Amino acid sequence: MKLIITLGLLTSVYTQEANYSELGKKALKPLKMGLMKELKQGIKTHGVSGAIGTCQLKAPVVTEEVSTPSYTVGRSSSKYRNPKNKPQAWMEDVLKSYETTASKDSQVIRLKTGETAYVEPIYLKGLCLNCHGAKLSKSVESELAKLYPNDKAKGYKANDFRGIFWVKFK
């Protein structure tokens, strides 16, 4: 009898985690698509260095528009560019884990507050290196210094771990 109850509880926990995983993926899709759309449009209109200002203005708007009364979404990194993306306390261990393991797996996390979060790692791709890479153009360096004087988000290579996309369910 205890075995049946235990198996039932484990199945329930697994199902709940799978549901949060699916919900998290769905919640992040419009964030990722919206950010990429704004970035590409900014590059097309203003060039790479001009797109930095576009990202600074548009990324918070896209993030706010995607968040709902049921969940909030965002991005964070130990090496953040925008201080508004500084990791919340619950994210610090998650970021350290990805930094040391290079895992590509998403995670469902039960927070101390009783809330649930979903995270996906961000690994750098080619386009990202224009503003986050080890070798940046002078115009990009200049624009970053102007808009983000305390920038920590440079010096990466392709496929480096950059940070996390996250969803916090309410």
- The one-letter code for the residue type at 132 is H
Q: Which of 11, 31, 132 is nearest to 79 (CA)?
A: 132
Q: What is the pLDDT of residues 112-167, one digit of tens each?
A: 999 999 999 999 998 999 999 999 999 999 999 999 999 999 999 999 999 999 99
Q: What is the pLDDT of residues 64-76, one digit of tens each?
A: 999 999 999 999 9
Q: Which of 112, 114, 108, 119 is nearest to 167 (CA)?
A: 119
The pLDDT > 70 percentage for the chain reads 91
**In angstroms, how far is CA 59 from the centroid of its own chain?**
12
CA pair distance 92, 78, nearest whole angstrom: 8
For residue 119, list its beta bridge partners. 107, 166
**How confident is residue 1, by pLDDT bands cut at 50, 70 and 90?**
very low
Q: Is the pLDDT of residue 77 over 50?
A: yes
> What are 134's two structure tokens?
């080890």
Residue 18 is predicted with a pLDDT of 74
- The one-letter code for the residue type at 61 is V
Residue 11 is predicted with a pLDDT of 34
Other C-beta atoms lying within 10 Å of the C-beta of residue 49 = 20
Other C-beta atoms lying within 10 Å of the C-beta of residue 112 = 7
Contact 49, 130 (CB under 8 A): no
Contact 71, 169 (CB under 8 A): yes
Q: Is the pLDDT of residue 50 over 90?
A: yes
CA pair distance 48, 110, nearest whole angstrom: 39
- The one-letter code for the residue type at 99 is E
For residue 73, list its beta bridge partners. 167
Average confidence (pLDDT) over 22-33: 98
